Chains A and B, each alone.
Chain A
Amino acid sequence: MHGAEPLPHPSLPSPRVDLLLVADMVAANSRVLDVGCGDGTLLRLLSEEKGVDARGIELSQRGVNDCVAKGLSVIQGDADTDLAAYPDDAFDYVILSQTIQATRQPRKVLENMLRIGRHAIVSFPNFGHWRIRLQVAIGGHMPRTRNLPAAWYETPNIHFCTIRDFVALVQEVDARIERCVALDRFGTPLASTAPWIWNMFGEQGVFRLTRKP
């Protein structure tokens, strides 16, 4: 296969419905850096549907090779070490989807995102969800869910947080929440906006942040 055949439309596996929400938070024709871009699903969605100048960073060699072979601008790298090289305000949006819990220094990563992008968009699994609380409280073991199936000794996720914890970090780094959504286990946004409801019933949080002026 060679030549510029039209690319098949990216299909979104159900656990990544957060990507559609993330994409919805991005303005058309903007400049985006997707940190932890995986196989490039979001990058393609953004560049094909919204005319975005989309670039990515991915840790796994397999993911990077797949992306570059598809013609996406992706570098092999790591959120903890490779964001520092980017200049201030290089992008309109810096996205970190389902990755913050796997970074060594989430606070530093978030600060770098807010430095190199005018907006930062973060989606993450909520460790405050009632099923997870129940597994720890009643089951007495580290939680394993459909979306987080790895055992504690082999999970790449080393810095889990709850939605409440994340909001506290946002205040700590002096950022402002522009938009936020909590998703239930089916990827549907929760109707309620009460913080305790989110923290108890949201499986994922999706936040768009910006620096305070």
Chain B
Amino acid sequence: MSYVTAIKAAGLREVDAPHSEVVHFGPDRPLELDAGSTLCPLTIAYQTYGALNADKSNAILVCHALTGDQHVANDHPITGKPGWWQTMVGPGKPIDTDRYFVIASNVVGGCMGTTGPASLNPATGRPYGLDLPVVTIRDMVRAQAMLIDHLGIDTLFCVVGGSMGGMQVLQWAASYPSRVFAAMPVATAAKHSSQNIAFHEVGRQAVMADPDWRKGRYLEEGVVPTKGLAVARMAAHITYLSDEALQSKFGRKLQGLAAPAFSFDAEFQIENYLRYQGMSFVDRFDANSYLYMTRACDYFDLAADYGGSLALAFKNTRTRFCVVSFNSDWLYPTAASRAIVHALNAGGASVSFVDIETDRGHDAFLLNIPEFFATTRGFLDAAARARGLPPAASIG
């Protein structure tokens, strides 16, 4: 089977021909990886919204989470659903595209057009599969910096993102302090906890236990490990919600039954919901990419690069920070955000910290929560005043 036929058969047409802008980096610009090797050639797929101003001072980089992508504020090319942050990003929204130039790129290792395990390995003429070196959050950020250079932007007005996106925000602020005017890490942590790694390992084992995974070579064999990937997604999805939210939404309610039928079908509404989440995920995501994304998070420990001191990562930084957590998020709990805040304080940084009260768990960062939106708007407004950006009305 040809490469293009294989990825199309797997529903991964965006890998090869994304509905996005793309930039290619050839042998003159290899991506240096933490694993010690380089990735070359490298393709980065990205979306932009709004207009870059004349002095290129109004650019906001939005970093996506584990299974997110660059389609922040437009309909998704595979699912047709609204972009994952369409409530937050757009004209008149808190991240106001009438005022800011918003950039979002698919991370390296992804499956929406940026080079990842489903991409063609020019050395073999086959998909990379597990031949792609393991990537880290820092590798993702290095690749993003290459994109920002390509766009001719020196300093980003703001870098913002939730969950794995928040890790990229922290890495940006630590790696390129002079290129980040403001940073907004949301629902994230400066390192992956043992529990975080444990959940990710469950997901990876589910994928690899699927007989259709074929040691990562499923694309060439014309199969897809949908069952394993769906189970991985189901397990992960539980960690994105809260006990309270599950209880109030589903409780012990049965799905289309008046009484238990004493079977192993999806009798409970929560089972039905999780199965739906699992099955709809496999239509848009590559199983190997899931392995790479989860691994990148597992390796994340920002302080480790600074002698174990997170404060050193942010020493003398001039970046303005706004750290946001959600009180029912048990995946990246408030305490993990507070540790970031303490390190920023110790480093003398300008930092705001808001813990938003909600029962929606980790997923809250994707939802329309008024206090979160007011925080984002207020923080960006104040940063824009400090940066001398005009209000939205006076552009164009």
Seen from chain A, the residues whose Cβ lies within 8 Å of a Cβ on chain B are 2-5, 53, 55, 61, 64-65, 67-77, 82, 85-87, 90
Contacts and interface: CB of A to CB of B under 8 A. Distances in A.
Contacts of B390: 4
Contacts of A55: 350-351
A69 B353 contact: no
Given A2-B377, A77-B341, A82-B342, A72 B352 contact: yes
Interface string B372-396: 0011011101111100011111000
Nearest to A74: B352
Contacts of B353: 64, 74-77
Contact of A69 (B343, B377, B384, B389): B377
Given A75-B353, A76-B355, A68 B392 contact: no
A36 B381 CA distance: 24
A68 B350 contact: no
Interface in B352-378: 352-357, 371, 374-375, 377-378
Contacts of B191: none
A38 B280 CA distance: 46
A77 B341 CA distance: 10
B155 to A, nearest CB: 19
Given A2-B392, A73-B320, A77-B338, 12 more contacts: A2-B377, A4-B381, A4-B390, A61-B356, A68-B354, A68-B379, A69-B375, A71-B382, A73-B350, A76-B353, A86-B345, A87-B346
Interface residues of B, number: 38
Given A68-B378, A69-B375, A5 B354 contact: no
Contacts of B389: 4
Interface in B77-115: 92, 94, 96, 99
B297 interface: no
Given A2-B392, A61-B357, A87-B348, A72 B382 contact: yes
A101 B212 CA distance: 66
A65 B92 contact: no
A2 B381 contact: yes
24 contacts: A2-B92, A2-B94, A3-B392, A61-B354, A61-B356, A64-B355, A65-B371, A65-B375, A68-B375, A69-B375, A70-B382, A71-B382, A71-B383, A73-B351, A74-B352, A75-B341, A75-B353, A76-B355, A77-B353, A82-B345, A85-B341, A87-B346, A87-B348, A90-B348
Nearest to A70: B378
Contacts of B10: none
Nearest to B390: A4
Contacts of B393: 3
Contact of B374 (A65, A82, A90): A65
B391 A4 contact: yes
Nearest to B375: A68
B395 to A, nearest CB: 10
A3 B99 contact: yes
Contact of B355 (A61, A71, A82): A61
B12 interface: no
A3 B382 CA distance: 10
B322 interface: yes
A61 B352 CA distance: 12
Interface in B313-348: 320, 322-323, 338, 341-343, 345-346, 348
Q: Which 9 A-B pairs have CB atoms at the shortest separation, nearest pair first?
A: A71-B382, A3-B391, A69-B378, A75-B353, A85-B342, A69-B374, A68-B352, A4-B391, A85-B345
Contacts of B355: 61, 64, 76
Contacts of A82: 342, 345
